[in-house]
Structure 1
């Protein structure tokens, strides 16, 4: 790992970038240049709690020193509405708020939730807290502070509680996948449930896990298209040629990733539709996916469109009883998968679509396979006056025609911004049941009819 001397990092350059990128926030960012100056240690005020004990603490060993710091335990700090006495502050003449230079972790956490705290400090705290405390432990401490403050009959305490909750929402919203432990999820769920019990419905709604129904079908379709387009652009034409000839995953990694993504989406949809125990919830999911499918089709994303359609048309789903309006709407799309005349309906639909488009690569691979199997690599000696080893370039023209269509599709790009909340909802489409489990659920909902034995 390359180690960089902190003195050589061009902080001024970063500050210029911040100001130029965020002109509306330039007054806040201009303060950063002052905060980054560490030559003013003599102007710092030590925590009042420790000023009289400084000499004593210097003579203690590390274990005793840590024990002395426990005077500022979580109960005393996290339950205080003003924690400035526990912080190292830089005193500035004429300043209404002193600048924080250090302090115990709990004091820094509590200070971030004080009503009068600087937005710049809050932003710096939420950006860097992982360097001294995990998200899980921070959430625990903020919940503890919130629960204490919300019970006090005091205006300031209520403001602190609201600040705690705002910080919790931000932290939960910005969690990374690797931080999503069972303990963390359980803690957030319990806190959310307690809010509901205490009739804090608005707060609970902000913390609970998002569901498919909270987002517009068009927004969901856009994010599915964003993921598809990213994978599609990585596929190289040789991968498709090799797959049609050898089906070697090592030679076609991007193609395999795209195909695997298609399968994940399909099984994810099946799982989401069939897993709810209540029929009305299953009906609701089915209708939602039909609407999403319609949006995918209008965007020209036939890859995810057919992934969703294949899920809704799969045996375990199709055999169940569904509302007539859903069945009728689904029929309008089912004809697209009709294999009659080599998927004529789908090919016509793709031809009529305007770019950008994402084709269904399963059919493209099928076409390439048919060309490979149905045409010899070399011309027949009978056609060439007995000459052998003459390559059949007519076969290559056919392959080129198919692959060139893919090249043209890749020349167009979608302009879609990421929506982290929806992408987090997808979870990489990893939450799905196996084929056997899906069938088992289907048959538990509607048991197979057994013929009487004669």
Structure 2
């Protein structure tokens, strides 16, 4: 009996498959069946393993997963209920060592790249269980002593709370020379080159984006204010930080325009910010593009009819392709196609990923009618998270300019303290009879913009 023939001897009726062409894809299964497939001796299904480890805490706990993996490591078929005595002996000699190697490798991957367990006594106990298990491994029952030591080091890191992350390799090419204003001590927005503003915004945002972990995208955790709410994993601090930055940038755009009492100056600021957005697009920083357009399309700015009438044709011709890129038509088809072709480094608009994750979570049941784990749902969730993760693999080759970064950070933090209704009132003071306001109440506030609507409704509004 070869490994392929003996594979399903343990859980023959607890897993089901679909086929994409000739490729076998897990559709649903019991937890035992999924763990069986996770440690399959005859075939390494890396895509399945990655999906399972990314989403496991939707359908099991860390404690249960460890128990199943250790049982799988020690499993022995009992003849004649499953196998004949001859086949069982052959399975133990030829197949069981491969299963054990798979279990050890899955534990290593989990501890190294997919650990999503909350801090607490139960997790500590689980790590000690794994530590004891690994310490008793020998080269004849698992892998090399180097693998054993690697596992023990990973467990030690998890026990001490040390996060081991893989950093992208810096580019060997020289970064573009910064475009500096004459005076770095007295910075003024209109005197800073839009390309350099875009570069410094991108460096800041890239650092924040790179910290997001796949586990932060699960369970809609970014929408929860309290940590550990309802027994679920802690909220997503890095996702929420990027959402705040996105909203600060958008508010800064609106506040900067409204700060200018002079009509001509307002049009100059709009033109400058549109050029910043265009430069961000050239850097593949689509998050900043959407954020800046959100500020330009917000109600207090959108209604400034006399200001927009003075905006130059050159600015309008620069703005139009940016608006086309972020159009909501056909579920943002132009933007999605652009992102699909983008070569990292790249910062995608996080809101659309979160919108897709919410749609998958809310639109698919956790189990099938037969009571099996609906693994198709978790494959879609993991695929979305891994797509976003793929954009984190390359870093930007740009030079930080501390003075510009400090200036922009101060401006954005000040904008965060602003109030949307105050911005509306300021807009009405600047242009009391603005575009479309003849039949509108002065105290009405309505957001505009296709991509912005998706952002607000789906995911990008925090609860604090």
TM-score using structure 1 length: 0.50
Deviation at 1:305, TM superposition (A): 1.1
The residue correspondences of 1:249-398 to structure 2 (distance < 5 A) are 250=227, 251-320=235-304, 321=306, 322=308, 323-325=311-313, 326-381=315-370, 388=371, 390-398=372-380
CA contact (8 A) 1:249 1:256 kept: no
Distance 2:439 2:258 in 1: 26
SS of the equivalent of 2:218 reads helix
- Residue ranges of structure 1 left out of the alignment (5+ in a row): 1-204, 382-387
Tell whether 2:201 aligns with 1:227. no
Query: Per chain length, whose mean CA-contact separation is higher, i.e. which structure has more relative contact order (CA < 8 Å, sep 6+)?
Result: 2
2:225 counterpart of 1:241: no
Cα pair 1:266 1:310 within 8 Å, conserved: yes
Matches within 5 A, 1:154-193: none
Please give the alpha-carbon distance, in whole angstroms, between the structure 1 residues aligned to 2:222 and 2:238. 16
- 1:443 aligns to what? 428
Shift of 1:451: 5.6
Report deviation, 1:245: 8.6
**How far apart are 1:207 and its partner, in Å?**
8.4
TM-score (ref. length: structure 2): 0.49
Whole-angstrom CA distance in 1 between matches of 2:280 and 2:361: 31
Structure 1 264/207 Cα, relative in aligned 2: closer, same or farther at 3 Å?
closer
2:187 is paired with a residue of what secondary structure? coil
Which string of whole-angstrom CA distances, capped at 9 and with x for unpartnered residues, describes residues 296-327 of structure 1? Answer: 00100011111101111111111113225234
The alpha carbon displacement at 1:337 in A equals 2.6
Deviation at 1:243, TM superposition (A): 2.2
1:412 aligns to what SS in structure 2? coil
User: 2:414: which partner in 1?
Assistant: 431
Q: Matches of residues 36-185 of structure 1 in structure 2 within 5 Å?
A: none
Separation (CA, whole Å) in 2 of partners of 1:446 and 1:368: 41
Q: 1:232 to 1:420 in 2, by over 3 A?
A: same
Q: How far apart, in 2, do the equivalents of 1:411 and 1:238 lie?
A: 17
Where 2:414 maps in the other structure, the secondary structure is coil
State the Cα deviation string for residues 364-410 of structure 1 (Å, max 9, x = none). 000000000110000113xxxxxx2x110000110111011112111
Between 309-318 and 365-374, report the one with greater CA deviation. 309-318
Cα deviations by residue, 1:259-313 (Å, 9 ceiling, x for unpaired): 0000001001111111111011111110000111000001000111111011111
- Cα–Cα, structure 1 residues 324 and 417, in superposed 2: closer, same or farther, change >3 Å? closer
Deviations 1:312-364 (A, max 9, x none): 11111111132252344322211223212111111112122221100111000
Relative to structure 1, the CA distance from residue 206 to residue 422 in structure 2 (aligned partners, 3 Å threshold; closer, same or farther) is: closer
CA RMSD of aligned residues (A): 2.1
Unaligned runs of 5+ in 2: 1-181, 228-234, 441-464
Deviates more, 1:219-228 or 1:234-243: 234-243
Question: Could you say what secondary structure the match of 1:422 adopts?
Answer: helix
- Contact kept, 8 Å, 1:242 with 1:248, in 2: the verdict is no
Quick one: structure 1 residues 398 and 219, their matched pair in 2 at CA, closer, same or farther if it must change by over 3 Å? same
Q: Secondary structure at the match of 2:220?
A: helix
Q: Deviations over 1:155-197 (max 9, x none)?
A: xxxxxxxxxxxxxxxxxxxxxxxxxxxxxxxxxxxxxxxxxxx
For the 8 Å contact 2:184–2:403, the answer to whether it is kept is: no
Partners in 2 of 1:289 and 1:207 — Cα distance?
A: 20
Structure 2 contact 250–292 (Cα < 8 Å) conserved: yes
Is the contact between residue 244 and residue 365 of structure 1 (CA under 8 Å) also seen in structure 2? no
Could you say which residue in structure 1 is the equivalent of 2:130? none
Q: Aligned pair 1:409/2:391, yes or no?
A: yes
| Rg comparison, structure with higher value | 1
Partners of 1:260 and 1:279 in 2: CA distance: 30
Q: Does the C-alpha gap of structure 1 residues 354 and 207 become closer, same or farther in structure 2, counting only changes over 3 Å?
A: closer
